[in-house]
Amino acid sequence: MSEVRLPEDAPLSGESLGYVQSHALAGLLVVAVVRGDGTILREPSNSETIQAGDSLAILGRPDDVAKAVRRIGGEVQMLYRGVRH
């Protein structure tokens, strides 16, 4: 799992999570949104609006997350790396 913090001037601000997931984060799953004030939205709905300064908890392969971050901007932090069997 990775956390991506969106910058204050994020171009995705004001877009719905559904739009962001289907366009900028295709193939990745946003499992939580952390607002700038610390509010945590677990299992956010596709209609939730992304705000500047939000952090997105994202499930996906690290290289796919890195590609998405290059497209949308922001900073990424690896929160958990699963074990492959």
Domains of the chain with CATH codes? 2-78 (3.30.70.1450)
CB-count burial class (<10 Å; 0-12, 13-18, 19+) for 77: exposed
pLDDT at 81: 53
Sign of torsion over alpha carbons 22, 25, 27, 30: negative
| Claim: this prediction has a pTM higher than 0.85 | no
pLDDT tens for the chain, residues 1 to 85: 888 888 888 888 899 999 988 888 888 999 999 998 999 999 999 999 999 889 999 998 888 888 888 887 777 776 555 544 3
Q: Which residues contact 25 (CB under 8 A, 6 or more apart)?
A: 56, 58, 60, 68, 72
